[in-house]
């Protein structure tokens, strides 16, 4: 049985940072929410570097990132279709050669 990673929302991460800013010790927050202190420090650093764009991974993505993701999905689909058609042609050629 595998352990699933917990996912935290942007709002939750900001709430944790506000608790730190209000004077609550990181160790206490860590125990209270069962989160590693290193993770809390990482969130705090990300938020201090760019508050407006911090934690964008688990929320809304930019239109460019969305377009890239869409194109990557399309590329994967086309690759699978190409491989399917290639195997189909090989199979049909094998059947044709057996009949001759």
Coil, strand, or helix at residue 34? coil
Residue 15 predicted with pLDDT over 90? yes
pLDDT confidence of residue 85: 97
Question: In the block, which residue shows the tokens 């202190």?
Answer: 37
Class of domain 7-60: mainly alpha
The model's pTM? 0.53
Q: What is the pLDDT averaged over residues 17-44?
A: 93
Torsion sign (Cα): 26, 30, 31, 33: positive
Q: What is the pLDDT averaged over residues 53-78?
A: 81
Residue 20 predicted with pLDDT over 70? yes
Domains of the chain, residue spans? 7-60
User: What phi and psi values does residue 40 have, to the nearest 5 degrees?
Assistant: -65, -45
8 Å CB contact between 37 and 27? yes
Residue 100 predicted with pLDDT over 80? no
The rounded distance, in Å, linking the Cα atoms of 32 and 26 is: 10
pLDDT confidence of residue 57: 64
* Ranges 26-40, 44-58, 71-85: which has the least confidence: 44-58
Averaged pLDDT of the chain: 88
pLDDT confidence of residue 59: 54
């Amino acid at each position: 049985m595998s352990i699933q990673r917990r996912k935290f929302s942007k709002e939750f991460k900001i709430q944790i940072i506000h608790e730190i800013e209000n004077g609550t010790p990181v160790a206490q927050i860590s125990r209270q929410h069962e989160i590693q202190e290193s993770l809390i420090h990482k969130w705090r650093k990300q938020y201090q570097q760019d508050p407006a764009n911090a934690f964008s991974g688990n929320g809304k993505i930019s239109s460019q990132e969305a377009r890239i993701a869409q194109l990557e999905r399309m590329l994967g689909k086309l690759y699978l279709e190409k491989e399917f058609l290639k195997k189909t042609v090989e199979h049909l050629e094998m059947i044709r050669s057996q009949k001759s």
